[in-house]
Amino acid sequence: MMSDLRELYLEMVTDHAKNPRNRGKADPTDFIGTGHNPLCGDKIVVTVATKDGVIKDVKFDGEGCAISTASADLMAEVLVGKNILEAKELFEQFHELVAGDDEHNNPKVPRKLSVFSGVREFPMRVKCATLAWHTIISALDGGEEATTE
């Protein structure tokens, strides 16, 4: 079972890193955030379009490793249709999944994000997986820059 999850993880990360579906700029842009991971050099800009408090579009641009790019791309997919509070709750659940002590998958995390649970085995890569998330939450909170170290 664990090897199936690793295989799915590798497949999804590779696919979304090589062929991101959500690269670009949300138009119109209601929120914008920039993030930087100085440990590995990942840099990202996340733009968000909302209507009536609901996220209608999320796009990202920048340079990052495969994990950072795949996480940003999948984050953009799962946040569309969520309100800002739901986005923040999903960030907390995702962060617990990749960096927490609980070894069980959080059932509230969408399945496509659960493949990132293996990242917890590589603490240096947690920052890569969460960079886009920190950036979008900072943007939604009115901040301009989210640097993770």
pLDDT, tens digit, 9 for 90 and up, residues 6-24: 777 788 889 999 999 999 9
Note the pTM of the prediction, 2 decimals.
Answer: 0.91
pLDDT the model gives residue 31? 97
The CATH number covering residue 125 comes to 3.90.1010.10
Number of domains in the chain: 1
Q: Which of 61, 49, 42 is nearest to 87 (CA)?
A: 49
The DSSP element (H or E) to which 45 belongs, if any, is: strand 42-51
Range of the domain at 35: 2-147
